[in-house]
Chain A
Amino acid sequence: MQDMMNVSYDTLIPNNVGLSSDKQVLKALEKWHPGYINWWNDLIPQNFQESLVYLRTAVSVDPKGWAKFDYVKMPEYRWGILLAPQVEGRTIPCGEHAGEPAWQEVPGEYRNLMKRLIVIQGDTEPASVEQQRFLAITAPSLYDMRNLFQVNVEEGRHLWAMVYLLQKYFGRDGREEADDLLRRSSGSEEAPRMLGAFNEETPDWLSFFMFTYFTDRDGKMQLESLAQSGFDPLSRTCRFMLTEEAHHMFVGETGVGRTIERTCQVMKENGIDDPYDTDRIRALGVIDLPLIQKKLNLHYTLSLDLFGQEVSTNAANAFNAGIKGRYHEHRIDDDHKLTNDTYTVWDFEDGQLVRKEVPALTAINMRLRDDYTRDAAGGVGRWNKIIEKAGIDFEMKLPHEAFNRKIGVFADKLFDPEGKLVSGAEYDAGQSQWLPTHADGDYIQSLMVQVTEPGQFAGWIAPPKVGIDNKPGDFEYVKLAMA
């Protein structure tokens, strides 16, 4: 690692933050960089590290410059520090400082709150790469393998983005936090990742697609609200990250969609109309629709937990301080202070689920979660169109948000996917129809085989409609290094 110290970071790290003239931050990043490269090299199996992957790299932040496609070995991917262009005269969009000029430095009174938010966001980025580290071994095609690696390198870049903020604006504390981001590790006993959902392994590709659809979408919503921050460097960072996050949503939505499409196609080809005829369907090597629904139930509800308590003073404080806005704050037509407004949240009173008006300020999490649910429902509608087109009588549904929750008012109580409170016996009886069982997991696992012939796909998934970067169907998205 000796030569790492001599690398010219001004050319190695594409950046639009003037790193070369910012000696202190440059030095901090130089100290951090070898640890990052070690982390990356230890993570993903070696033969993939040496393979040429057709990746998109951002070379600048204007629309023309951030989608350059080329073959790259992943360790040579140019992880850059890229902030969306500064908006002249930008003001704090919400809370008690609304309308004042946006902060270019961290205001002392909010330092800890802000650092905490950045650290939590930063912690999820490497965590998801860790969770997905072995998936390439069972990639259903080179196309999918490329998409996985694209997601991975961009999550890596998002870690860089957060580390830059920590090192630039939070001094010694920030440097320590940046080091801890590499010290913690998903699923570790001693130093796990901060959020529960990021310590679960991603065992198979359907889980990966569900994760990118539902859990990365939580990440997208968090980035959306941080993009509204009054702390301008954080806002600019998150705005640029969102353009990359869109690709992750794409991988999830089309991945689940292609799985559904293939199942429907194989059912039709074999004259099976009943989606619940699962033994026959599984004998044909595709994933039955009821099992896909069970995976959906699981990943959606796990992701809802990431939004925290329905009523939260922390969230109220962050909004009021102007550190974190609402989804599309700039398009909401109100006073952006919420001092006298209310918002409807779920509560649980006298054994009943009730809707209750609470001060809107305290319901910031709930509002973001509602926006999330609306956003997530869109793709489910598209999946149903695929099923409908195939003429199969089945409909995917988001379960009731009370189902399978560990955080918030619904935690510690048993609900069915329709949101009905059920007894322990009823829950036990229904559970295997609502959530994936171990046997379901084993079945999905049995389908996971690596396919490395360009243009070929594993039997359980349909090819995409359009190639990445408009490439033809048999394009060699990954040139695999021989192991």
Chain B
Amino acid sequence: MNKPLKQHLIDPEICIRCYTCEMTCPVEAITHDDNNVVVDVDKCNFCMDCIPVCPTGSIDEWRVVVEPYSLEDQYSWSELPEQEEIVGGDEADTGMEALDEAMAALLAEAHAGAGGKVRAPATASKPTVNLYTIGKPATAKVTGNFRLTAEGSDNDVRHIILDFGGQPMPVLEGQSIGIIPPGTDADGKPHLPRLYSVSSPRDGERQNYNNLSLTVKREEGGLCSTYVCDLKPGDEVQVTGPFGATFLLPSDPDAELLMICTGTGSAPFRGFTMRRQRETPASNGKLNLVFGARRPEELPYFGPLKKVPEAFMHKVFAFSRLEGEPKHYVQDKLREEAGRVSAMLTNPNAHIYICGLKEMETGVEAALDDIARGVGLEWKTVRDAMREDGRYHVETY
């Protein structure tokens, strides 16, 4: 069987045949007959130049296919075919998340905690995936590397800013990129990329700059994290991605979010929050954050987070190593917030996101289970329904 691939298509029902995309495409991948405007799968290189110029929204369509649709197929359509069930069926096989076996497998593993096939929020923007690959990575320049945790702490978490210059890097909040550490492994092969969640919003760490930020913790003996945490401004980094097509922010400004994280699991939520601040700064009461760390000094972005008004985002911190205090974990805080959380379980506009270390899953699930039971609900049923609806997302590692 051929390896499935992602194909760019145009929705003929929405397209008005203005040919703006065709005139914009730098590689002449787009062409038309009297009926339809179509994309040549052999030429399209996912540069995305055609996406913003389309006046209709018909251009942003993608299908994972084993056998790509030919130009003739596309000319004959009066509507876009449904996404076919690809044999094997799950996320890693279809490659919708990453189109790269290694990356897809990593993401499938990270999303396993959701307990079933995950879906993107219905109103999320359509993500770009796999624009850059191991064979054809992007080169980013480091423009900043700041320590987020207190100097005395043995926990070194870094805020890294990468600038992509003229290369398009269309990332959405919640997506990840791969970093290729330099050098080779014991067999003399280049290292595989490591995945890091992007912690900035889609329009740049600094608005309208083509840059993004990562939140990276130095791991003892970690090859890639050591490399990333030691980067200096001006250094060049090989990047793959973007990856991830389900752990995304709903575009609906009324969607309510419960974000549960520990440590660097806060990265995607920083992106979510900044996106909301830039898009709907006056929208109050929609965001809730439950954030766990050992101490305030080790909680990434603790300072900036405290400045986010409580009305804009309800914030609850759980510290497990606070001198003279009992240990608090995120699940304890969830239970304290049972009223708020249980209301979200039955709210069709509510989304739950969990991000952090794998170990947090069990505790969080147990707390949610208890909270559901407290209001006469069965957690598994609620969870499965929310997941099916694109409103329950887990990314743990």
**Which of B34, B252, B253 interacts with A378 by CB under 8 Å?**
B34
Q: Does A250 contact B (CB under 8 A)?
A: yes
The interface residues of chain A, by DSSP majority, are classed as helix
In contact, A470 and B125 (Cβ under 8 angstroms):
yes
Q: Does A438 contact B (CB under 8 A)?
A: no
Per-residue CB proximity of A454-475 to B under 8 Å, as 1/0? Answer: 0000000000011111111001
In contact, A466 and B57 (Cβ under 8 angstroms):
yes
Segment at the A interface, from B15-23, B107-115, B194-202, B380-388: B15-23
Per-residue CB proximity of A262-299 to B under 8 Å, as 1/0? Answer: 00000000000000000000000000000000000000
Chain B residues, CB < 8 A from A254: 16, 56
Q: Does A374 contact B (CB under 8 A)?
A: yes
In contact, A466 and B50 (Cβ under 8 angstroms):
no
Per-residue CB proximity of A371-390 to B under 8 Å, as 1/0? Answer: 00011001101100100000
Q: Which residue of A lies closest to B13 (CB)?
A: A465
In contact, A250 and B78 (Cβ under 8 angstroms):
no
Please give the number of chain B residues whose Cβ is less than 8 angstroms from any Cβ of chain A in the complex. Answer: 27
Q: Which residue of B lies closest to A250 (CB)?
A: B55
Chain A residues, CB < 8 A from B76: none
Q: Give the distance in Å from the alpha carbon of A379 to the alpha carbon of B16 in the complex.
A: 7
Q: Does A19 contact B (CB under 8 A)?
A: no
Q: Give the distance in Å from the alpha carbon of A374 to the alpha carbon of B34 in the complex.
A: 8
In contact, B16 and A250 (Cβ under 8 angstroms):
yes
**Which of B13, B18, B57 interacts with A249 by CB under 8 Å?**
B18
Chain B residues, CB < 8 A from A469: 57
Given known pairs A246-B55, A466-B56, the reply for A472 and B13 (CB within 8 Å) is: no
Chain B residues, CB < 8 A from A468: 57
Most buried by A among B20, B55, B58, B251: B55
In contact, B60 and A63 (Cβ under 8 angstroms):
no
Given known pairs A249-B16, A465-B14, the reply for A63 and B252 (CB within 8 Å) is: no
Q: Does B238 contact A (CB under 8 A)?
A: no
Q: Does A247 contact B (CB under 8 A)?
A: yes
Q: Give the distance in Å from the alpha carbon of A250 to the alpha carbon of B54 in the complex.
A: 10
Q: In whole Å, how far is B165's beta carbon from the nearest beta carbon of chain A?
A: 13
In contact, B53 and A67 (Cβ under 8 angstroms):
yes
Q: Does A66 contact B (CB under 8 A)?
A: yes
In contact, B78 and A243 (Cβ under 8 angstroms):
no
Given known pairs A67-B53, A378-B34, the reply for A472 and B14 (CB within 8 Å) is: no
Q: Which residues from 32 to 62 on chain B have a C-beta closer than 8 Å to any C-beta of chain A?
A: 34-35, 49-50, 52-53, 55-58, 60
Given known pairs A374-B34, A472-B251, the reply for A246 and B18 (CB within 8 Å) is: yes
Q: Which residues from 73 to 122 on chain A have a C-beta closer than 8 Å to any C-beta of chain B?
A: none
- Please name 16 pairs of A and B residues whose Cβ atoms are closer than 8 Å in the assembled complex, sorted by A: A63-B53, A64-B52, A66-B53, A242-B20, A243-B53, A246-B18, A247-B55, A250-B18, A250-B56, A253-B16, A254-B16, A374-B34, A466-B56, A467-B57, A468-B57, A470-B126
| Additional A-B contact list (11), CB under 8 Å, known A250-B56, A379-B17 | A63-B53, A242-B20, A243-B24, A246-B18, A246-B53, A250-B55, A254-B16, A378-B17, A466-B14, A468-B57, A470-B251
Instruction: Report, nearest first, the 8 A-B pairs whose CB atoms are least far apart.
Output: A246-B18, A247-B55, A466-B57, A63-B49, A67-B52, A250-B55, A246-B20, A253-B16
